[in-house]
Amino acid sequence: MTSVYKWMYDLTYRFSKPRWDSDNVPPEVASLAEHDGERRRALDLGCGTGTHSIYLAQHGFTVVGVDFSPIAIERARDKARQAGIAVDFRIGDVTRLEFLREPFEVVLDIGCFHGLDTAGRAHYAGNLARLTQPGSVFLLWAIDRPSVFGVAVTREEVQQYLAPHFVACRIKPSLLHRRASTWYWFSRQ
3-state secondary structure 11-64: HHHHHCCCCCCCCCCCHHHHHHHHCCCCCCEEEEECCCCCHHHHHHHHCCCEEE
Q: Cβ-count burial of 94 within 10 angstroms (0-12 exposed, 13-18 middle, 19+ buried)?
A: buried
> H/E element holding 89?
strand 88-91
The predicted-structure confidence for 53-63, as pLDDT tens digits, reads as follows: 999 999 999 99
Residue-range definition of the domain harbouring residue 27: 3-188
- 77-82 long-range CB contacts below 8 Å, 24 or more apart? 77/50, 79/49, 79/50, 79/51, 79/54, 80/50, 80/53, 80/54
Q: Of 9-13, 92-96, 119-123, which gets the smallest average pLDDT?
A: 9-13
Select from 34, 56, 47, 36 the least CA-distant residue to 74: 47
- pLDDT, one tens digit per residue, over 133-155 is 999 999 999 998 876 556 799 99
Domain of residue 31, CATH code: 3.40.50.150
Task: Give the total number of structural domains in the chain.
Answer: 1
